[in-house]
Amino acid sequence: MVRRLLLVALLLPYAVWLCVAYRYHLLDDVNLCVHEAGHLVFRPLGTTLHMLGGTLLQLAFPLAFVLRFWLRGERYEAAVCGVWASESLMYTARYLGDAQRQELPLVGGHVHDWHWILTRLDLLGSCDTIARVLHGVAASGLAASLFAATWAALAWRGRGAPALG
């Protein structure tokens, strides 16, 4: 239990940093690899899914780990992976928010996925607003994941979930 709570304590300042001062960092290298693989996986399904595929796989990948652990009853591990899933959504929010300015370097080509997608949806002018909403959703996911990890760590002693109140 102590080690689990220690990890939550270490994740807390990281989560705060993500919420208030997010910048590209090591975990985003993993997200980027999965994102680029998503373009390859979805390429045969047409241009729209090819463009969306990077983000789809990037978000689905950590969620698959959340689901895998959840289904095995490993709530703490699922919650920690929820931190990853929330961070991946923040990465997406940052990339989507760059759609109009296109200041971020591109790895897989010369087309900015979200510029292409939002232009076709006539939402390019709203990219900053959409990105802020996604960032807020991700921040909520981070808080929920850390709460769930704390809850699961306290329950880990085998007595079930701790009582409220």
The whole-angstrom separation of Cα 130 and Cα 156 is 38
162 part of a folded domain: no
84 is written with which tokens?
A: 């990853």
* CA atoms of 149 and 12, how far apart (whole Å): 11
Q: Is residue 102 part of a domain?
A: yes
Q: What is the pLDDT at residue 53?
A: 96
- With the C-alpha atoms ordered 36, 108, 84, 133, is the resulting torsion angle positive or negative? negative
Q: How far apart are CA 147 and CA 139, in angstroms?
A: 12
Residue where the block lists tokens 């329950």 = 155
- For the chain, the domain total comes to 1
Tens of each residue's pLDDT in the chain, 165 residues: 889 999 999 999 999 999 999 888 889 999 999 999 999 999 999 999 999 999 999 999 999 999 999 999 999 999 999 999 999 999 999 999 999 999 988 886 678 999 999 999 999 999 999 999 999 999 999 999 999 999 999 986 655 555 444
Range of the domain at 151: 2-155
Calpha distance 101→99 (Å, rounded):
6
- Asked if residue 87 belongs to a domain, the reply is yes
Query: Does residue 134 lie in a domain region?
Result: yes
Tell me, yes or no, whether 26 lies in a domain: yes
Is position 160 within any domain? no
Tell me the pTM: 0.89
Q: Indicate whether 161 belongs to any domain.
A: no
Which tokens hold the place of 37? 């693989």
Is the CB of residue 110 less than 8 Å from the CB of residue 162? no
The answer to whether residue 119 sits within a structural domain is yes
